[in-house]
A and B are shown apart, each in its own frame.
Chain A
Amino acid sequence: MTDKSNDPNQMTGAAMIVRALIDHGVQHIFGYPGGAVLPIYDEIFQQSDVEHILVRHEQGAGHAAEGYARSTGKPGVVLVTSGPGATNMVTPLTDALMDSIPLVCITGQVPTHLIGNDAFQECDTVGITRPCTKHNWLVRDVNDLAKVLHEAFYVATTGRPGPVVVDVPKDVQFALGTYHPPRKSDVHVSYTPRVKGDAAQIRKAVALLAAAKRPVIYSGGGVINSGPEASKLLRELVDVTGFPITSTLMGLGAYPATGKNWLGMLGMHGTYEANMTMHGCDVMLCVGARFDDRITGRTDAFSPGSKKIHIDIDPSSINKNIHVDVPIIGDAGNVLGDLLQVFKAEAKKPDIKAWWQEIAKWRARNSLAYKKSNDVILPQYAIQKLFEATRGHDTYITTEVGQHQMWAAQFFGFDEPHRWMTSGGLGTMGYGLPAALGVQVAHPDSLVIDIAGDASVQMTMQEMSTAVQFELPIKIFILNNQYMGMVRQWQQLLHGNRLSHSYSEALPDFVKLADAFGCVGIQAIKPSDLDGALKEMIKVKRPVLFDCRVAALENCFPMIPSGKAHNEMLLPAEATDEATAAAFAGGKALV
């Protein structure tokens, strides 16, 4: 037998994990220790390449890693223990799967000989996380560990990005084995995501675009995921074609909100002009979006007269909800580059003046209008003020889920990609606060703000303690209306205004709570308080809980009502009690 004691690649499983993180350029991981990961934590203690951020609940680690990933384009890495550590990760994993966020989650597991034995803190981690990951692995042999870890990073970050789980039993962490650096053969030969679009399909798309009279570009999170180059190409395409552009919630920032062709967000709470343009267009170019039900409204009345081009890296997104005429499978940036090249060589900017005139009429309806008040802060006004106050700062925004999230999407203008972190697909209340932590870790000198609601923020409030410990000066801007606002709005519109359990009777005093956590509490009650309070929030270099008291019963408009189409939006100016009742007539329903 050869003596392996001098081989630098001989190491324990726990050491391999830290080594693999370093080899993949990981600088920060988010996690929480426990019995089944102690060997890994011991390795982390003895090195300084990878910094560990200790959260207060594993869900916080998951969302923090998501925020980290979305704001950097790099994978977010999580380390949690077996059993409850793993089950607490189920929500962030599902969230990351829905929104295509690259996460690598390493879970501890009970020793292999105890698996299946109902051992202490045992759960079937790979079974539980199978439907909420892109792929997962249980590593039973230390000599498979390096290969699996490298493959995990590859799978998480290539193709349509997504979360992966590597479950490592404790005896495998202790066992000695041979490590190897990443190499091509680590990956399943069956996994071959397609990056480059089909040339013939791209030509068909260009022909349609060049002949369009009433075109629209509808972009989504896929453009953001593809990287900054894709957003640049998207902007160039808009310039070259002169087409109007709208975006999903996930795609905000790919095209600047200050751009002249920008229509605003589309969908259920999108602008009137965006939805009407989608409804009336003759050619639709969908880039990196998936025709989700919040976007389409009633599918059989969705953009009835248009030819649809769909660029997506995931073949299963094609024709899932809406039939498209020209599908192009590939990476958004790669396909946009090819498409632009063909367009510039073979087509001219189509004359769509008449279409822009029509769009101008829809814009003039001013669908985001709201009634201002001198006595009470309107939530829309608060976001506008926040937006103004942060101009000129290097700002990142996260949100929770609900009315405040929609108002943030409507009223905060994003001019760059990777600046907007929100739970779009899963709609996870409690996402924004830990996500802000992750963003702040990645961008320590930037201004990171979680636009929150009073209900959502209490779901992961404990992470303020993490912010204080790691000196992460996140700003939690709470639009406090004392209700679960979106639930209350739906109860008002759909369920006879019976406000069943949507009122929080015993809210904490957020200013005192901030004090208890050791961070800064700020309150604004009147509109005249806002400017000064916002200035103070931005100036202070410590974590802040900002209690912004807003009008309690404000509704989020415009809105596509129940099972209606894009051209049947309810606008704020028209949302009288009778009009609302008529639009939502029909009785109550689940969800």
Chain B
Amino acid sequence: MNQPASAYFLEERHDPNETHTLSVLVQNEPGVLARVIGLFSGRGYNIDSLTVSETESHKHLSRITIVTTGTPTVIEQIKHQLDRMIPVYRVVDMTITGRSIERELAMVKVRGRGDSRVEALRLADAFRARVIDATTESFVFEITGNSSKISQFIDLMRPLGLVEVARTGVAAIGRGPEGM
């Protein structure tokens, strides 16, 4: 045993990490998002992406989509910890159900003239990004897709005069006729 003399067991575990997308249906009431975020920071869980909005206003329901990374045991804990919060209706692990669609929206501002401006427009077309604002020396593109597609597009824009990016984070929904 190399651990220092402590009454706690200090050895770290080295299980491989996994990334999961969780959909959480909650009562939309004051503080509910703070509860969810506080759970993640308080227990040392990761948030890679967080998207939240009211989805059914007459029932006061909001849907939170969280992308998180951790060992399988930690992911299991996160789901249980979320599920036992009073305003949480359901927690669905979209990664385990495997039949989900994930999308993210980004707005990408690129500044440039001449060839690089033409090149940016051509790439945007290839990525099916739309121009939603233009000046003689800039574009704002709107692009939708999974996160890796958006990251790839941003990487391509960088040498062409990337100014800034706004991303919404991931929203996810299951395929087929059933709701969550």
Contact = CB atoms under 8 A, between A and B. Distances in A.
Interface of A: 126-127, 130-131, 134-135, 138, 155, 160, 188-191, 268, 293, 296-300, 314-316, 318-320, 490, 493-494, 561-564, 584-591
Complex A-B, nearest 6 residue pairs according to Cβ-Cβ distance, in ascending order: A589-B4, A589-B6, A316-B80, A135-B86, A190-B89, A584-B5
A574 B61 CA distance: 62
B5 A130 contact: no
B6 A563 contact: yes
B126 interface: no
B179 interface: no
Contacts of B83: 315-316
B83 to A, nearest CB: 7
Given A126-B31, A190-B87, A190-B89, A315 B4 contact: no
A268 B76 contact: no
A586 B31 contact: no
B105 interface: no
A586 B84 contact: no
A316 B1 contact: no
B3 A589 contact: yes
Contacts of A561: 5
Contacts of A316: 77, 80-81, 83-84
B35 interface: yes
18 contacts: A126-B31, A130-B35, A134-B86, A135-B85, A190-B26, A190-B89, A191-B86, A300-B11, A320-B77, A493-B5, A562-B6, A562-B7, A563-B6, A584-B5, A586-B1, A586-B4, A588-B5, A589-B6
A126 B29 CA distance: 13
B77 A130 contact: no
Contacts of A298: 9
Contacts of A585: 5
A590 B4 CA distance: 9
B9 A188 contact: no
Contacts of B26: 190
Best-surrounded residue of B9, B10, B35, B81 (most CB of chain A within 10 A): B9
Nearest to A134: B86
Contact of A562 (B4, B35, B38, B77): B4
Contacts of B38: 130-131
Main secondary structure of the interface of A (DSSP, over half): loop
Interface in B40-99: 42, 73, 76-77, 80-81, 83-89
A315 to B, nearest CB: 5
Interface of B: 1-11, 26-27, 30-31, 34-35, 38, 42, 73, 76-77, 80-81, 83-89
B4 A588 contact: yes
Given A131-B38, A586-B2, A188 B7 contact: no
B86 A586 contact: no
Nearest to B41: A131
A315 B7 contact: no
A406 to B, nearest CB: 12
Given A130-B38, A315-B83, A316-B81, 10 more contacts: A160-B84, A190-B89, A562-B5, A563-B3, A564-B1, A585-B5, A589-B6, A589-B10, A590-B6, A591-B6
B11 A563 contact: yes
Contact of A188 (B11, B27, B77): B27
B80 A315 contact: yes
B15 to A, nearest CB: 12
A134 B104 CA distance: 33
A563 B8 contact: yes
Contacts of B11: 300, 563
A562 B26 CA distance: 42
Contacts of A127: 31, 34
A190 B88 contact: yes
Nearest to A321: B73
Nearest to B85: A135
Contact of A563 (B1, B34, B87): B1
A562 B89 CA distance: 42
B86 A293 contact: no
Contact of B27 (A190, A297, A315, A591): A190
B5 A190 contact: no
A314 B9 CA distance: 24
Contacts of A315: 80, 83-84
A319 B9 contact: no
Nearest to A584: B5
Contacts of A564: 1
Contacts of B77: 316, 319-320
A460 B113 CA distance: 73
